[in-house]
Structure 1
């Protein structure tokens, strides 16, 4: 009996082999295809609609608009939109977006766009408004890659504000991390003066911003306040920020500068007793440790006045052997803000030993006359309270920032923060995997300054009290 060829997939039937043509090839002339549509941009050829934006007129094609944008699709095809029956449509755009509308429309016709830090935010607004999700993703990815730019081209503040109001979580987190760790760079950016009062207050409420000093911070905030001429707006700004400036963290000489400034003399009543309170804090400066609680916490100040920061540097990171790579320092951290540049003493400071292992942990120790070692490939930070006869519970905020260098600009590329309560039972704080070693050792690592590893550690004493056992005695 001859075998039956397969028809309709009946079980037991034999399928005829399908011969593939070996000459088959897929030809894709994408560039030419895109070029044909690109030539239609703002062309009268087959144009069936005119878009009016400000004083600009653009010849357009409905088929291009509706296939690219869900908003244009609804606007031009649904009867409930009056634009669906019009040959000329006026689009109302934010003033800042009008200048980039030609770029936006070119993207619809070509699928490509040239981006800069100064215009990408405007293009993102249009992408969101017209529901072009691919363009939205493209803009956000560009912004994420260009958060680190020099102050003259940096727009991170504007991007952060937009990400907050549109719930762009990823972009918001990346922007905020850069802003807090590089606040001195942010203060020189073009959009610093355009910052909203609510976002400014958000930053001033933070103890994690890295800034030279509280006075230097006030100088830039004052510049932001005075950037407008409207006295009502100046008053509104001043009322918003004054409660969040930490005047007790300023030296008396800096308080005096504020007291003799124009803005203080004009709005003295708004300052109230804030400066007097700061002066009083300095005059009552005491070395007594007992029951010391900081009313206004330290930020990450790197001015020597505060004595809370120290540098960690490993030259020629890649070439340095792991056994020689650990960085150590002893920090004598003042309990009180020093109102004058005086050297810290043991009776008004606490001593901490800091060790950081940027190539991975390594520790050698003798065993039966031989040296053994304990090691791993995790970067490790150890902070230990130096031995002392006095036993206190000390709350310390520890922040480590790691620097990098790009476009002639040194900036913080990574930060790590922990809080630890030091006591007789807990004299050591260990933080593992501060940053993956492979990130530092990779070619063209973004976490090195040239060939060197550079970091700064901040130890901020926030509270001191006697241990319970001493209180009972």
Structure 2
């Protein structure tokens, strides 16, 4: 835009110009660039749409959900959901020719349907642990992918003790709908905190397949196999049908995954008077087999049974967080630690889970490096020449374990990193497992990246309890196959 400005040296000459007098005119031109201004007031629009839903003004459709009536606007519903668009515009659907549409929803979904509509109108909703699964169910049913993504992200981030009772239901829904990321997150959390999960009132509501998925895991974190057996027994008793002839089948299906050889001998003997003894075939094949394992008696069962036992990995222990198989390291005031500072522990584990091997032990020396590993400079001397090693720093959270084995032996090392609950209790925030092999020549194993190094430096981290790191280290000897 070009603007001309006239500069008048004497205002009186303006009148002279009118009268024909000569005057001097100076014209100066400049280019003024006007910037575009974008007006962005989405909140105003959202308030208008929200008001339309609240007042029902100009509504042309009524939705009936479990006795509730919602005065809606066909245009907005169709624009927000492909499913509703097809339902409300197609003449092939009876809803497309009616001003009153009845939607059949589960009670949990009906209870949050108002919030679902608010999202369709405004794109906003408050997600909480008790409403996120019903909202996800509605979002999937009516194909609202943006809401589905938000619900899934919330669930993944909300796996903690406060939501444990809901995680069981989230897991089952994730499996049904093939939400692999959510399924993996829920499985990991429940697996690491299974003792707490089995104590929930809703535990018996999980499906048989979900229960078996947990029971098949060797990395299941439990206090003992007997505790796990008691939990599975309660689940079975809550799910039996007195009029069904398939109760025995259900019993065998779930109980066959219990690792009876991992139950201590004195506790195993007590099971003889348990209700399990009524299943005589099961009792003979499993309890008797476990008794032989503990006493070191030669396994002389049939090949079919041995094959079954091998497939179930009956003799491979789980992660039992007892003093017998684990130790604990607590590092306080982590932020004040110097680089390379180390904390240590010393403990022993039995030679195996069999009672006959309890007198044999493996001694473990554990060194924990929460602030990385620092190597000092040194001189390497050889017969040819001397080399100077400048040293260095490695930003890793390392656990170094050492033991002495005369023969080659494989162990499973599991590190549980504890996190804080809102009520002051603790839970397993993350569990990491790896295999390590020791023999007379290999006596040291370094397990790096136990915790992301950057998390140690943060003031607040889910890997820390206040300014402390608490680890539980469980070491399991690999089962050495017994021969018939």
Q: TM-score, normalised by structure 2?
A: 0.80
Answer yes or no: is 1:312 the counterpart of 2:329.
yes
Q: 2:395 is matched with which residue?
A: 377
- 1:166, 1:295 → 2: CA distance? 32
Render the CA deviation track for 1:385-421: whole Å, top value 9, x for unaligned.
32x5x3x121111111111113123112222211123
- 1:199, 1:18 → 2: CA distance? 73
Q: 1:463 to 1:222 in 2, by over 3 A?
A: closer
Question: How many residue pairs align between the two structures?
Answer: 430
Residue 439 of structure 1 deviates from its aligned partner by 1.0
Q: Secondary structure at the match of 1:90?
A: strand
Answer yes or no: is 1:394 the counterpart of 2:409.
yes
Gaps of 5+ in 2: 1-29, 299-309, 381-387
Give the conservation status (yes or no) of the 8 Å contact 2:58–2:73: yes
2:344 aligned to which of 304, 328, 338: 328
- 2:400, 2:427 → 1: CA distance? 24
- 1:258, 1:97 → 2: CA distance? 44
Q: 2:173 is matched with which residue?
A: 162
- 1:353, 1:312 → 2: CA distance? 12
Does 372-381 or 413-422 show the bigger shift? 372-381
Q: Please list every run of at least 4 consecutive aligned residues from structure 1 whose deviation after the TM superposition is greater than 6 angstroms.
A: none
Q: Secondary structure at the match of 2:44?
A: helix
- 1:311, 1:371 → 2: CA distance? 35
Answer yes or no: is 1:296 the counterpart of 2:308.
no
Give the conservation status (yes or no) of the 8 Å contact 1:362–1:376: yes
Give the conservation status (yes or no) of the 8 Å contact 1:226–1:234: no
Does 420-429 or 141-150 show the bigger shift? 420-429
- 1:156, 1:228 → 2: CA distance? 20
Q: 1:133 to 1:227 in 2, by over 3 A?
A: same
Query: What are the residue-to-residue correspondences of 1:140-155 with 2, within 5 Å?
Result: 140-150=152-162, 154-155=165-166
Q: Secondary structure at the match of 2:464?
A: coil
Q: Secondary structure at the match of 1:356?
A: strand
Question: Highest CA radius of gyration, 1 or 2?
Answer: 2
Give the conservation status (yes or no) of the 8 Å contact 2:116–2:138: yes
Give the conservation status (yes or no) of the 8 Å contact 2:340–2:369: no
Answer yes or no: is 1:448 the counterpart of 2:459.
no
Q: 2:439 is matched with which residue?
A: 423
Gaps of 5+ in 1: 1-16, 287-292, 466-473
Q: 1:435 to 1:132 in 2, by over 3 A?
A: same
Which has more helix, going by share of residues?
2
Q: 1:219 to 1:330 in 2, by over 3 A?
A: same
Query: What are the residue-to-residue correspondences of 1:5-404 with 2, within 5 Å?
Result: 20-22=33-35, 25-41=37-53, 43-150=55-162, 154-228=165-239, 230-231=241-242, 232=244, 235=248, 237-261=250-274, 263-264=275-276, 267-284=279-296, 295-304=314-323, 307-324=324-341, 326-337=342-353, 339=355, 345=359, 348-364=360-376, 374-386=392-404, 390=406, 392-404=407-419
Q: Secondary structure at the match of 1:454?
A: strand
- 1:187, 1:406 → 2: CA distance? 18
Does 66-75 or 220-229 show the bigger shift? 220-229
- 1:211, 1:241 → 2: CA distance? 17
